[in-house]
Amino acid sequence: MLNASRSRTQPRPNRSHPLGGMDYVDPKKKSGVVGKILLAAGLTAICILMLKQSPSFNTPSPFSRHETGVTHVLVTGGAGYIGSHAALRLLKDSHRVTIVDNLSRGNLGAVKILQDLFPEPGRLQFIYADLGDPKAVNKIFAENAFDAVMHFAAVAYVGESTLDPLKYYHNITSNTLGVMEAMSAHNVNTLIYSSTCATYGEPDKMPITEETPQLPINPYGKAKKMAEDIILDFHKNSDMAVMILRYFNVIGSDPEGRLGEAPRPELREHGRISGACFDAARGITNGLKVRGTDYKTPDGTCIRDYIDVTDLVDAHVKALNKAKPGHVGIYNVGTGRGRSVKEFVEACKKATGASIKVDYLPRRPGDYAEVFSDPSKILRELNWSAQYTDLEKSLRVAWRWQKSHRNGYTSSMASI
């Protein structure tokens, strides 16, 4: 028979035993685990306490608080041609600036130049965001203390608008509605709105005054007018200070050569005539295409009012300074003088010194024969008038930037 009472030569190891579906843990091991947890919690608490005592922990971003004597301006589309020049002027005037741009038409290089010029904390910040995203827009307004908004962000080519009208209604009209909703929700009560003479369409009488009927003939002008209507309807029941600037054909660049116009290559076909002239002068294109020679004008080509970007920005700053709660100001921003496309081409040839081949083609859909402004109201009420009215000189300034930035903001090259 086997001996039922065997002796154990080695001690029984500690083991977990299943008790009622649960594991039994040795009390000594349990106390060790609890101790480690408490130690980790204690160290975490100490770290948090030290962070809270750090001066930078409790100090909010200067962009998130209002500051006496400092105007914080949100510049939508501030990486674009006009918006970047406006941001430069605002920074020079000691304003605090936040640029919001999705870079679909803007240039990060322009933002970097501004950051290099104004590196001090609390002067300039860039936020990459799309105004078509309501959550992103609301978050931007919630996290920043804006005093005013300059709303430039928009697609802005007449020809493109006739080919893709839905893009223009969404980008201009819907996005402006989103900006207005965010301003209302977060109590931002000053708006400077970038509008256009395209809202007037093709008036029977020149020059155009602010009372000229708005009868736009292309989706770009229609979308801008709809945005204006949204702003004006909202204003009827608010104390918001609103300035709407309807400006004409923008040319030129920063006189000190820091910023310029650098449209996307794929948009050259729809872009401004100045860009098309420069592309032809640099040999990027085979020549300049002038669309329409049978308009009822002295030389058969369209007549436009060309406004230098430096003057245009000055009008925005004066509008900001004169904005009053509960008041709406609507102003044409132009020189008051119309120039034909042929005149413009001749000025461009002189400014660049290049022989530019010109191809005359049929009219572009959505264009109108003659548009120029009567700027007397803005002179009377804002004390603004165009100073850079020499067309050839404005083009010469812009040409200098173009020559040294053959690839836009991506690189600089020696003059050709």
Residue 98 to residue 73: CA distance in whole angstroms: 6
Residue 242 to residue 376: CA distance in whole angstroms: 19
The helix/strand/coil state of 127 is strand
Which structure tokens are listed for 90? 């605002």
Active-site entry in 168, 169, 200, 220? 220
Contact 267, 157 (CB under 8 A): yes
Residue 387 to residue 252: CA distance in whole angstroms: 12
Backbone conformation region of residue 21, classed left if phi is above 0, alpha if psi is from -120 to 50, else beta: left
Q: Does the active-site annotation cover 220?
A: yes
Residue 309 to residue 317: CA distance in whole angstroms: 12
Contact 143, 194 (CB under 8 A): no
DSSP string of 298-346?
A: TTSS-EE-EEEHHHHHHHHHHHHHH--TT-EEEEEES-S--EEHHHHHH
Amino acid at 167: K
Contact 196, 163 (CB under 8 A): no
Kindly give, in sequence order, each residue whose CB lies less than 8 Å from that of residue 220, ignoring residues fewer than 6 positions away.
155, 156, 157, 158, 160, 161, 168, 172, 196, 198, 366
Residue 229 to residue 231: CA distance in whole angstroms: 5
The neighbour count for residue 366, using CB atoms within 10 Å, is 21
**Beta strands 22-23; 72-76: pairing state:** unpaired
Residue 331 to residue 318: CA distance in whole angstroms: 12
Which structure tokens are listed for 269? 């076909």
* Greatest pairwise CA separation for the chain in angstroms: 131
Looking up tokens 């709406």 gives: 328
Kindly give, in sequence order, each residue whose CB lies less than 8 Å from that of residue 56, ignoring residues fewer than 6 positions away.
none
Which structure tokens are listed for 231? 């702003």
Contact 179, 163 (CB under 8 A): no
Tell me which residues are annotated as active site. 220
